[in-house]
Amino acid sequence: MDIKLPEIGEGVTEGELVKWLVKPGDTVKVDQPIAEVMTDKATVEIPSPQNGKVVALKAEEGKNIQVGGVLLTLEASGAGAAPEKPAPAPQTAKPAPAPQAAKPASQAPAPQAYAGASGTNGQTRPQTEAARFAGASAGDVYPPAASSKVLATPSTRRLAREMNVDINNLKGSGLAGRVTREDVMGAGGGSAASAGGGMDYVPRQAPVMGYTGPTGAVEERVPMRGIRKKVAEKMQLSKQIIPHFTLMDEAEVTELVKVRTSVKEKMAAQGIKVTYLPFVMKALIATAREFPMVNASIDDAAQEIVYKQYFNIGFAADTPQGLVVPVIKNADRKSIAQISREIVELSEKARAGKLAPDDLKGATMTITNIGSVGGTYATPIINHPEVMIFGMYKISERPVFKNGELVAANVMNVTCTADHRLIDGAVAARFLTAVIARLENPGMLMMDLT
Amino acid sequence: MSYDVCVIGAGPGGYVAAIRAGQLGLKTVIIEREYLGGVCLNVGCIPSKAMITAAHFVHRAQHDAPEMGVNIGKIDIDMKKMVDWKQSVCDRMAGGVEQLLKGNKVTIVRGEANFVSKEEIKVTGKEGTQSIRAKNFVIATGSRPIQIPGFEFDEKLIMSSTGALAMDKLPKKVVVIGGGYIGLEIGGYLAHLGTQVTVIEATGELLSGIVDKDAVQVIARKLKKAGVEVFTEAKAKGCKKTKNGVEVAVDIKGKEQVIEADRVLVTVGRKPNSDQLNLKAIGLKISDRGFIEVNSQRRTNIPNIYAIGDIAGQPMLAHKASHEGVLVAEVIGGKNRAYDVKTVPAVIFTDPEIASVGMTEAEARASGHADLKVGKFPFAANGRAVSVMATEGFVKIIADGKTNVVLGVTIVGPEASNMISEAALAIEMGARLEDIALTIHPHPTLGETMMEAAEAALGHAIHIIQRPLGERKESGLRANA
């Protein structure tokens, strides 16, 4: 039987197969991880839905797989677990394509996900009868059936379906507006090669340099995959869309250092590691209430500004695989202690590559804490579709003039990088100044606590 | 037993689904309560075509042969033998279906199925009741003739198509209630065999709403010639059994009349068998008209249950069911498939035959094609048609006036059923009039009429007289024959 990629997170339609954890001939047990699949920025282990022997791997490492796409074929062992408990499988193995039919992509694989599904797995959720029917009603097949107006041969229509291209949206280049095979291939992009039927599409490749050093090859080619690929895509997208600018300043945080030092050990006794990050989060949130444009996003498609009434703060975390940005949800409603605990938990999960897709979603603002590694200032890249990323850097003891006297003080460099489409320079400057005011006076920070 | 796929009903939808599922390596079982091949192979398409062929043969021997110089003399019809021969045709086809199913490792279970749950059915057959579990079900249990009050089928005096096809004695007089395609096919061949046929049609015309009006005229004319009496706007009120047969009370355009007959054939349509199988109890959604509601993958509201063929909606045609059978088997096999054909051809085996595909003129206008090109070419101008003595009828082709893309074709005439596939391909391919006109059609064949009709729509058919090309204005490029 075919084992398919189950639903691995809300709205997740595909994942990249990072690594196989089994090989043909292996015997697997129910819930034994069979593959590592990367979605968004989290790596998920896909459990086997049943006992059996791996017959063949149907996907390649480094390639994307649609939810519902076949991962491998399994020969069920013995009478198998599936026939014993088939009841819940058919209903629950199908992802819940929420009633809003406006996300064709997320619904596309649903029928397949369902089709041959033969066992339960931990990721699936029971659905209500109504939700299930919404999924099965006439609108849910993606791509939708070709309308009678579309001019395309039956084989071209079939090609479009197999390439997941909605032929209704294509402008035919042929006679009388006929949609040709080439039109479909063009719309389907590089995946055309898998569609079969001749005419494989091969994207142009960079020329391979023939240079060889005195000791042999001096280059190593490694495929872009996993988190590296996701980071690359995300950063490029953000830089392409957003006109960035960065404002730099410093905050004299002597008082904040005192506060933190005073609680550090007591909290450590309770198993809570208190860093400066939650304080900065609190300062950021309190200030953002006065500057709603920093806790917002731009809906590029709708050309609308989305002001957010909730505060989910992402924080950049360095992991062996690369950058990830876990999110503290509703940070405005959590205590500093609570946030501290969550930061530690999420960081550990991030380093172990065990973050759930949900841990990485829904940030409204992001903080980068690169200062803990090094550098005085940076110009970070905004986490699109957010419009602001706040940078905090190393706290160091520096000479500062106070009332005409030179004193030693703790100083932290801070930056505010903003989307100039929404946030003007003066606004960013006023915002940064207001954040600094709170960081410099923890008493003010306490006034804002809810 | 537990299966990947359980198909219920072994008609042209079900057996095709089962074979394709078998080909895809899915563990498949098919349940059939009556006969493999369903209505189509046993009491529908195939036996009726056998009887029509025999009757047509008789008719031609009587009317065309003498004109060709072939004097056959008195024709003796052995009705018993004809029906036996018809049965042998059906048995042969049903046997073929059984072999194909077995050859594709499909398990055949005979009996009546009822759903116990969404994953289990109980099948009651001769050997008792057994439980069958499957991950996916395909409901392909079809339809049955509609019965009207006062005309309950006994298949002796009051017959459905099933009883009519089984008659081993030719009745003298038959009243056919319903002038749709089944009534006209059976009524037509009975008339050819020598029965006096009266057709009672409730609407204003025969084949109401399903066929181009010009084509209906050809059929009506030919029926009249064959001695068939047709009453339109006529309603059958009831019937009384008499010593000699039946008396049918009919309201014809407001006037009550009594028609005597040996037998009554009721062909007022078919209804889906959605009241069976215990479908409602498992929560399957069924429309007001009795069709199981399905999406474009023929999936019902219960995701592991599919429905195809007559029970899943109009048109109730075997070839639509077969297409859907392949489709659902492939969907279950994990392929992305949807029902996205442009058109389903329809064929009617009247004399002459009618075949149509795509839109009629009226439908094309209704769907927003204001400017149409219509070409019509008569069989009387085709050499082959004249040489087979079958000159009634025409090919009519409808295309978009701006793009010349073919929108619909109606053929009424000899071998119309065999000729329509070219038109179906043209429409599926998005062909233009020129594509058909510029394709060399072999001479002398009936198929040339398609090419000529396309030429006629473009304004310059060779074998009919149209105004010279030079005299045409742009808007005149239409042969409104």
Active site residue B443: yes
| Chain B residues within 8 A of A143 when measuring between CB atoms | 338
Mean pLDDT confidence for A429-444: 93
Mean pLDDT confidence for A380-396: 93
Which residue of chain A is at minimal alpha-carbon distance from B3? Answer: A83
Smallest CA–CA distance, residue B358 to chain A, in Å, is: 10
Smallest CA–CA distance, residue B296 to chain A, in Å, is: 6
pLDDT > 70? residue A191: no
pTM of the model: 0.59
pLDDT > 80? residue A215: no
| Chain A residues within 8 A of B403 when measuring between CB atoms | 176-177
Looking at the partner chain, which of A118, A141, A176 has a beta carbon nearest the beta carbon of B403? Answer: A176
At residue A136, the pLDDT reads: 36
Amino acid at position B436, single letter: I
Smallest CA–CA distance, residue B180 to chain A, in Å, is: 27
Q: Across the interface, do A116 and B334 touch by the CB < 8 Å criterion?
A: yes
Give the separation between CA B160 and CA B39, rounded to whole angstroms.
12
Q: Across the interface, do B338 and A145 touch by the CB < 8 Å criterion?
A: yes
φ/ψ (deg, to 5) at B245: 165, -120
Give the separation between CA B192 and CA B52, rounded to whole angstroms.
9
Does B337 touch chain A if contact means CB atoms closer than 8 Å? yes
What spatial distance separates the first Cα and last Cα of chain B, rounded to whole Å? Answer: 62
What the block records as the tokens of A73 is: 């074929």
CB A369 within 8 A of CB A22: no
Which B positions 18-47 lie with beta carbon below 8 A of chain A? none
Q: Across the interface, do B404 and A144 touch by the CB < 8 Å criterion?
A: no
Give the separation between CA A249 and CA A299, rounded to whole angstroms.
30
CB A105 within 8 A of CB A142: yes
A229, A235, A241, A242 alpha-carbon torsion, rounded to 10°: 170
Rg value, chain A, Cα: 26
The total of other beta-carbon atoms located within 10 Å of residue A209's CB is 8
Give the separation between CA B85 and CA A347, rounded to whole angstroms.
82
B42, B17, A126, B282 alpha-carbon torsion, rounded to 10°: 0
Residue A136 CA: distances (Å) to CA of A79, A131, B299: 31, 9, 7
Tokens 């195809």 appear where? Answer: B308
Active-site choice (A420, A424, A443, A446): A420
| Chain A residues within 8 A of B404 when measuring between CB atoms | 176
Looking at the partner chain, which of B283, B296, B432 has a beta carbon nearest the beta carbon of A145? Answer: B296
Smallest CA–CA distance, residue A203 to chain B, in Å, is: 25
Give the separation between CA B135 and CA A1, rounded to whole angstroms.
12
Q: What is the pLDDT of residues B282-330, one digit of tens each?
A: 999 999 999 999 999 999 999 999 999 999 999 999 999 999 999 999 9
At residue A189, the pLDDT reads: 55
Q: Across the interface, do B295 and A141 touch by the CB < 8 Å criterion?
A: yes
Q: What is the pLDDT of residues A300-349, one digit of tens each?
A: 888 889 999 999 999 998 888 788 899 999 999 999 999 999 999 999 98
Q: Across the interface, do A140 and B295 touch by the CB < 8 Å criterion?
A: yes
Give the separation between CA A115 and CA A442, rounded to whole angstroms.
58
Paired residues of B405 in beta bridges: B432
| Chain B residues within 8 A of A140 when measuring between CB atoms | 295
Which residue of chain A is at minimal alpha-carbon distance from B119? Answer: A87
Best of A114, A127, A173 to substitute, by most chain B Cβ atoms within 10 angstroms, is A114
pLDDT along chain B (481 residues), means of 10: 94 97 96 94 95 96 94 92 96 95 96 95 94 97 94 94 94 96 96 96 89 92 95 93 92 93 95 92 92 95 96 95 97 92 95 95 88 95 95 96 94 97 95 94 96 93 73 44 40
DSSP per-residue letters across A32-50: -EEEEEEETTEEEEEEPSS
B214, B217, B222, B223 alpha-carbon torsion, rounded to 10°: 140
Give the separation between CA B29 and CA B108, rounded to whole angstroms.
6
Q: Identify the band that residue A202 occupies on the pLDDT scale cut at 50, 70 and 90.
A: very low
At residue A121, the pLDDT reads: 35
Looking at the partner chain, which of B285, B297, B404 has a beta carbon nearest the beta carbon of A111? Answer: B297
> Could you report the predicted ipTM of this complex, rounded to two decimals?
0.76
Smallest CA–CA distance, residue A6 to chain B, in Å, is: 14
Give the separation between CA B475 and CA B481, rounded to whole angstroms.
15
What spatial distance separates the first Cα and last Cα of chain A, rounded to whole Å? Answer: 55
Contacts of A120 (CB under 8 A, 6+ apart): A49, A85, A88, A89, A92, A93
| Chain B residues within 8 A of A117 when measuring between CB atoms | 135
DSSP per-residue letters across B104-159: TT-EEEESEEEEEETTEEEEEETTEEEEEEEEEEEE---EEEPP-TT----SSSEE
Q: In what order do the strands lie in the sheet with B372-378?
A: B346-348, B353-358, B406-413, B394-400, B372-378
Best of B29, B133, B135 to substitute, by most chain A Cβ atoms within 10 angstroms, is B135
Give the separation between CA A54 and CA A75, rounded to whole angstroms.
6
- Give burial (CB, 10 Å; 0-12/13-18/19+) of B249: middle
Q: Across the interface, do A90 and B2 touch by the CB < 8 Å criterion?
A: no
Give the separation between CA A97 and CA A90, rounded to whole angstroms.
15
Size of interface A-B (CB pairs under 8 A): 104
Does B95 touch chain A if contact means CB atoms closer than 8 Å? no
What the block records as the tokens of A388 is: 């602001």
CB A167 within 8 A of CB A150: yes
Residue A155 CA: distances (Å) to CA of A182, A196, A198, B232: 12, 12, 13, 45
Which residue of chain B is at minimal alpha-carbon distance from A137? Answer: B295
Q: Across the interface, do B133 and A177 touch by the CB < 8 Å criterion?
A: no
